[in-house]
Structure 1
Amino acid sequence: MSASRIGTIVRLELTQRTRSLAWFVLLGVFAVLLIIVTVLSFAAWGFAEEPGSAIFSTIVYITLLLVVLVSPTLSGNAVNGDRDAATLAPVQVTLATTGEIIAGKFLAAWITGLAFVAVSVPFLLIATIGGGADPLTVLVSLVILVIEIGVISAVGVALSGILARPLFSVASTYLVVAALVIGTLIAFALSGYTVRSEATNSYRSYDVGTGASGSFPCFPGEEPSADYPCDPELEIECGDWQTDTYEVPRFDRVWWMLAPNPFVILADATPSRFDESGYPVDLFGQIKTGVRQAQQPPDLETRWDDCAPLVMEDYPTPEEMIDGSTPSWFVGLALQVVLAAGLLWWAWARTRTPARQLPPGTRIA
């Protein structure tokens, strides 16, 4: 491939986009939405000890959400739109190869998506400076954000080369993106409730009476204290053990379905920050906690004894649970890259000339 020819195609694509007034209106609307989100984030997270981390993560997620909503429209007709306008064939008869054309349109779509990130940079700086966001968190989250925009752009450009009609390719791009963003959540929830295991709960209660002074009996191994002045001479009448069986969903067996989700990848790959109690201080850590918690198997045998002294169980904090669980962002990102690369190869095969097989009704020149 020739870098100069790819650069020429990128410049042509970007020039066509920047000539449109609608492009600048879209960026302006995006900036207004970010202003609203930033103001609301400062109002919502102002009570936190480290508001900058929470505000920064909120702006990053809103940026990714808006790019997910807009990018398919910008990249979903990159190839077949030129074919319908009879501008693709003149490019194909030049020295530019099919691979260079596809690569140039992909890079142009990626740069177009990065324009939204550029608009969000001032707001991210405000969140970073105003609240003290961690530099490593800022760096990693922005890198993942840029990569996710590239994946979505690649899918849109590829489908525009595979499908003949721009409307269908844009709609198909939205469907693929929706499958990654929403479909993974639906598949995870439905599969988790479908794959169930039987759990048992054993328990027994007690019957107590009161002494002449109105005191209650002591539990086995319990001594009277100022907080609980029990009477050791009174006896507890323990009931019989009872066992209930029920079914519990096994999300720990299907948690991997969330791995290709762009929002999960962003949260799972970004280093988490926690407060003194071990709880996350931003949206990255909160979403990561939910995903890592889904990896934990449920307790299939529980026991509750009212006749025994109450023992306070020590549950792991989100920080401890994350440290003891398995990250999945690199697997999900690899799946996305394989999907995008496979679609781009298919688009190259459908666009190259002379073409062995074209979609029905495809315009040649």
Structure 2
Amino acid sequence: MNVHRLATIARLELVQRMRSVAWYVLLGVFALLLIGVTWLAFLAWGTSNERGPGIYSTVVLITLLLAVLVSPTLSGNSINGDRDAATLAPVQVTLATTGEILVGKFLAAWATGLAFAVVAIPFLVIATAAGGVSGWVVLVSLVVLVVEIGVVSAIGTALSAILARPLFSVATTYLVVAALTVGTLIVFGLVGAGVRTEVTQSYRVVTYQGDGIVCADRWETTTFEVPRFDTVWWVLAANPFVILADATPTQYDARGWPVDLFGQIKSGVRTAQQPPPSEQRYDECAPSTGDDTTPRDIIAETVPSWFVGLGAQLLLAGGLMAWAYRRTRTPARTLPRGTRIA
């Protein structure tokens, strides 16, 4: 794979995108949204000592959200759009190989998506200046953000080569992104609520007789069903926001609670790993000590899943890119009906 030809293809694709006025309008709208989000984050997190990590995590998650919403549009028609415009065939008859064309288009789409992360840099600096943000949190979160934008760009570029119609490929890319983000949550909620187990609860209550309190001599027992989210928590591992939160180091306050959204999301997913107890005991006659388990304890006792989810995403993107290579290579044996060559 020739680096010069690869860079030429990527540069031509970027120049074509940057000539559009709509591109700069989109970046401007993105900046305005981040201004509003940052302002609201300052109001939401107040003046506490932990507001820096909270505001920073909010801006990073919103940046990821907007990037995965826009990237399918920017990458989902990069190959078939050129085919429809009769500009792909002239490139294919040059010295550029099929792999160089695909990778060049992917790098251009990735760089276009990263432009949104660049726009977010001033807001991340403002959040970091608020204090309390760890350097490791900044480093890891930004690396994962860049990788996730690349995964979505690779999926969109591959589908633009696999599917003949630009509109269909863009829509399919959105469906894949929706399956990874919203779809995993739906599957987690529905399947986890559908798989249920029986729990036995024993309890004893106090009764009031005259001026005294008398404990009941007999324990009452009841049974009920609870959902088993621990059987399906792994579905969330492929969610881009879960990957970002689970991979980012967690910062805690003095009580062991997360101080940012990364830690709160991680704590929720890790809590879902724990199976519900088969027996519960409630005694009003005994002094209640309460449950002193903190999110720090839960995270320490459970296993991370971000590398599994990221690996699954990379396998999906790599498989689609390999399929796209077969559909784009020349000379082509068969083409979809109505496909324009030149």
- Which bin holds the TM-score, normalised by the shorter protein? over 0.9
Q: Distance in 1 between matches of 2:334 and 2:195?
A: 43
Aligned to 1:245: 223
Summarize the alignment of residues 182-197 of structure 1 with structure 2, pairs less than 5 Å apart.
182-197=182-197
Aligned to 1:220: none
Aligned to 2:241: 263
CA RMSD of aligned residues (A): 1.2
Q: Are the structure 2 counterparts of residues 237 and 18 from structure 1 closer, same or farther at C-alpha, using a change threshold of 3 Å? A: closer
Question: 8 Å contact 2:49–2:132 — kept in the other structure?
Answer: no
The CA deviation at 1:360 is 2.7
Other structure's SS at 1:259 match? helix
Aligned to 1:158: 158
Q: What do the CA deviations read for 1:52-89 (whole angstroms, capped 9, x no partner)?
A: 11000000011001011111000000000000000000
| From 288, 291, 308, the counterpart of 2:269 | 291
1:132 aligns with 2:103: no
Q: Distance in 2 between matches of 1:159 and 1:328?
A: 27
Aligned to 1:332: 309
| From 317, 329, 341, the counterpart of 2:318 | 341
Q: Distance in 2 between matches of 1:240 and 1:314?
A: 25
The AA in structure 1 aligned to 2:260 is: D
The CA deviation at 1:111 is 0.3
The CA deviation at 1:182 is 0.2
The CA deviation at 1:240 is 3.1
The CA deviation at 1:131 is 2.5
Q: Distance in 1 between matches of 2:161 and 2:241?
A: 27
Aligned to 1:356: 333
Summarize the alignment of residues 1-365 of structure 1 with structure 2, pairs less than 5 Å apart.
1-210=1-210, 214=211, 216-217=212-213, 236=214, 238-306=216-284, 308-365=285-342
Q: What do the CA deviations read for 1:21-53 (whole angstroms, capped 9, x no partner)?
A: 000010011111111111111111123222111
The CA deviation at 1:304 is 2.0
Q: Distance in 1 between matches of 2:117 and 2:191?
A: 35
The AA in structure 1 aligned to 2:10 is: V
Question: 8 Å contact 1:45–1:55 — kept in the other structure?
Answer: yes
Other structure's SS at 1:208 match? strand
In the superposition, the TM-score normalised over structure 1's length comes to 0.91
Question: 8 Å contact 1:205–1:239 — kept in the other structure?
Answer: no
The CA deviation at 1:364 is 1.7
Question: 8 Å contact 2:200–2:221 — kept in the other structure?
Answer: yes
The CA deviation at 1:129 is 1.3
The AA in structure 2 aligned to 1:25 is: V
The percentage of aligned residue pairs carrying the same residue is 65
Other structure's SS at 1:246 match? strand
Q: Distance in 1 between matches of 2:69 and 2:123?
A: 20
In the superposition, the TM-score normalised over structure 2's length comes to 0.97
Query: In the comparison of the two structures, how many residue pairs are matched?
Result: 342
Q: Distance in 1 between matches of 2:333 and 2:160?
A: 18
Q: What do the CA deviations read for 1:248-297 (whole angstroms, capped 9, x no partner)?
A: 10001110000000000000000010100011100000100100000111
The CA deviation at 1:237 is 5.5
Q: Are the structure 2 counterparts of residues 237 and 166 from structure 1 closer, same or farther at C-alpha, using a change threshold of 3 Å? A: closer
Where does structure 1 lack aligned partners over 5 or more consecutive residues?
Answer: 218-235
The CA deviation at 1:299 is 1.3
Question: 8 Å contact 1:206–1:239 — kept in the other structure?
Answer: no
The CA deviation at 1:356 is 2.3
Question: 8 Å contact 2:75–2:153 — kept in the other structure?
Answer: yes
* Bigger proportion of residues as helix: 2
Q: Distance in 1 between matches of 2:239 and 2:154?
A: 16
Q: Distance in 2 between matches of 1:237 and 1:105?
A: 75
